[in-house]
Amino acid sequence: MKYKCFDVTKTDGVAHVNMCRPDKANSMNEDFWAELPQILDLLDSAGDTRVCILSASGKNFSGGMDLSFFAKPEFLNLDNARKREAIIGVVGKLQGVFDRLEQVRFPIIAAVQGACIGGALDMIAACDLRYASQDARFSIEEINIGMMADLGSLQRLPRLMPEGVVREMAYTGLRMDAKRALEHGLLNQVFEDDAEMMRVVSDIAKQIAAKSPLAISASKKAFNYARNHGLRDAIEYMGMLQAAILEPLDIGAAMRGKADKVDGVFDDVQPLFSTSANDKPA
């Protein structure tokens, strides 16, 4: 399918979702918010995506929310409580788009260069892994335009970084460079340039795609459950999840691959059941 804000490819279980509006700093306009969940749902439904790389064209990853979004009628006149109450629904829909990054069955790897500000930081906070080139910079930009971040940064970042550091970003709007972002746990690794980053990220994606997709999907579920629940509940959930997904065929394939010094061969996860004839895999 053709998209206005994204180029999407898929090879050997690795999907590559690339933001493709570099002339607009890959800002998040209305098309972005419509297309991203559609792409994620199609990839997840097909069952043959084992990992996804989320990247961007141009010198900047994303400048965050496109200013045209704030020109929408519902934002222009908030002179009574009923109109303001309706904003809860608007924000909830946008939050739901980034929630999908956590909900899909495959890991998502963010590859960041240049500016990653505002909504873009909300977005990568919901990804599984984050890598960046050394020119990357991050900010909770909303405070600089008289708002607070409302799409997940204030909730997800303190689970990745020291809360005091996140508060500093949220209160000051100052930009954090890649070196400090790595030191504080936001990033997995920093690279000299974009090209080196994409080479390594592609290799990491291939390594993930070579593992049992059933075990990878269950591991992602376990991480997310543990983050949102207490230790005892999370460990008990882990036992039930392991019993549900334990697959002797996958274990055998992994053991044979290890003995032969090759990657194991695994079936994809099951395509998701669809009630709509219009839901076609990407």
- What's 153's domain CATH number? 3.90.226.10
CB atoms within 10 A of CB 161: 20
Helix (H) or strand (E) segment spanning residue 153: helix 153-156
The arrangement of strands across the sheet holding 137-139 comes to: 115-117, 137-139, 176-177
Q: What pLDDT is stored for residue 253 in this prediction?
A: 81
Residues 131 and 225 placed together within one structural domain of the fold: no
Helix (H) or strand (E) segment spanning residue 228: helix 213-228
Best CA proximity match to 106, nearest among 256, 216, 207: 216
| Whole-Å CA distances, 224 to 45, 51, 253 | 20, 16, 27
pLDDT of residue 254 exceeding 80, the answer is no
Residue 204 lies in a domain: yes
Residue 277 lies in a domain: no
Report pLDDT digits (tens) over 207-234: 999 999 999 999 999 999 999 888 788 8
Q: Which domain holds residue 248?
A: 213-260
Residue 132 lies in a domain: yes
Residues 71 and 105 placed together within one structural domain of the fold: yes
Of 209, 224, 251, the residue at which a domain comes to its end is: 209
Residues 222 and 204 placed together within one structural domain of the fold: no
Using pLDDT thresholds of 50, 70 and 90, give the confidence band for residue 197: very high
Residue 227 lies in a domain: yes
Residues 140 and 169 placed together within one structural domain of the fold: yes
Q: What is the mean pLDDT of residues 73-94?
A: 79
Residues 67 and 119 placed together within one structural domain of the fold: yes
Residues 56 and 190 placed together within one structural domain of the fold: yes
Angle at which helices 231-245 and 213-228 cross, to 10°: 160
Place of tokens 């990247």: 55
Residue 200 lies in a domain: yes
Residues 168 and 94 placed together within one structural domain of the fold: yes
Cβ neighbourhood burial of 127 (10 Å; 0-12, 13-18, 19+):
buried
Q: What pLDDT is stored for residue 145 in this prediction?
A: 86
* Alpha carbon distance 178, 180 (integer Å): 6
Residue 63 lies in a domain: yes
Q: What pLDDT is stored for residue 238 in this prediction?
A: 76
Q: What pLDDT is stored for residue 278 in this prediction?
A: 54
Residues 164 and 45 placed together within one structural domain of the fold: yes
Q: What is the mean pLDDT of residues 114-121?
A: 97
Q: What pLDDT is stored for residue 76 in this prediction?
A: 66
Q: What pLDDT is stored for residue 279 in this prediction?
A: 53
Residues 66 and 144 placed together within one structural domain of the fold: yes
CB atoms within 10 A of CB 159: 12
Where is pLDDT greater, at 15 or 77? 15
pLDDT of residue 189 exceeding 90, the answer is yes
Residues 70 and 104 placed together within one structural domain of the fold: yes
Number of domains in the chain: 2
Residues 46 and 180 placed together within one structural domain of the fold: yes
Residue 244 lies in a domain: yes
Residue 138 lies in a domain: yes
Residues 64 and 196 placed together within one structural domain of the fold: yes
Q: What pLDDT is stored for residue 109 in this prediction?
A: 98
Q: What is the mean pLDDT of residues 272-281?
A: 58
Residues 130/186/40/229 CA torsion (nearest 10 deg):
130
